[in-house]
A = this chain, B = another copy of it.
Amino acid sequence: MKKKKLILVTNDDGIHAKGLKALAETVKPFGRVVVVAPACPQSGMSHAITVVKPIEIEKVEEEEDFVSYKCYGTPVDCVKIALNQLLGQKPDLLVSGINHGSNSSSSVFYSGTMGAAIEGCINDVPSIGFSLLDLHPDADFSASQYSASRIISKVLANGLPKSICLNVNVPPVSKSEIAGIKIARQTKGLWKEEFDKRTDTLGRDYYWLTGNFHNDEPDARDTDEWALKNNYVSVVPLRVDMTCYNTLDLIKNWEL
């Protein structure tokens, strides 16, 4: 009998998020599933790790070919603890999400969902982050599950090149309205912050972070933002080597 695949599932919205449950259900037909997810919401935690305090783990659920743990740490802590303590062997796949909210364009840098996927990739595990462009706790994940299932079966069949992981975003539309799946590049864009400044009861200033995403290249048709605006699921392959090779010679000419 062929050995069942081992699949690690995590996220940044935490163990109770609907998107995590949706992703765990999506991968169950593919093999044995281990969920290690943050006990508390970790949105915006990026690739953060816990270095000044210990990390506690508790088992939440166990049934045939399925076990889940909550971890009092960041998404990347979850991946590190899973790979080094809980799994006992390297998983065949890591999936992270399904995030409640977009992680397209430069949002990939702030995303705990993608932090976890990148950590899997650094550890040579084929890794995919999934995000739905809907922040609602009760968002409808059926189109995301359908797309995720297609992408996961291709990754399990073909593998991923070393040091490459996938950033998948899904538009907030029903399954029948999805135009298709588009391989895209990361859009050049950024969040323009408009901090909301307030004063506390002792007269001290404090700020709430708010803002809007600004697309620097709204007309470019090969980007993840364009795909999502046009109801496509976007798939961006990310490298964990951040070196800009084109710039090496330029800087060598500075004669430092």
Query: Interface residues, chain A, CB within 8 Å of chain B?
Result: 41, 43-52, 54-58, 76-77, 80-81, 83-85, 106, 108-110, 115, 118-119, 122-123, 150-151, 154, 158, 161, 163-164, 166, 180-181, 183, 185-186, 188, 190, 193-195, 197-198, 200, 204-209, 235-245, 247-248, 250-252, 254, 256
Report yes or no: A108 in contact with B44, Cβ–Cβ below 8 A: no
Report yes or no: A44 in contact with B54, Cβ–Cβ below 8 A: no
Q: Which of B56, B109, B250 contacts A161 (CB 8 A)?
A: B250
Report yes or no: B206 in contact with A188, Cβ–Cβ below 8 A: no
Number of copies: 2
> A92: shortest Cβ distance to chain B, in Å?
17
Q: Which of B84, B154, B252 contacts A254 (CB 8 A)?
A: B154
Q: Which of B46, B49, B85 contacts A115 (CB 8 A)?
A: B46
What are 15 pairs between A and B in contact, CB < 8 Å? A47-B47, A48-B48, A49-B209, A57-B205, A57-B206, A84-B194, A109-B118, A123-B190, A158-B254, A164-B244, A180-B256, A183-B256, A186-B241, A239-B242, A242-B242
Report yes or no: B55 in contact with A207, Cβ–Cβ below 8 A: yes
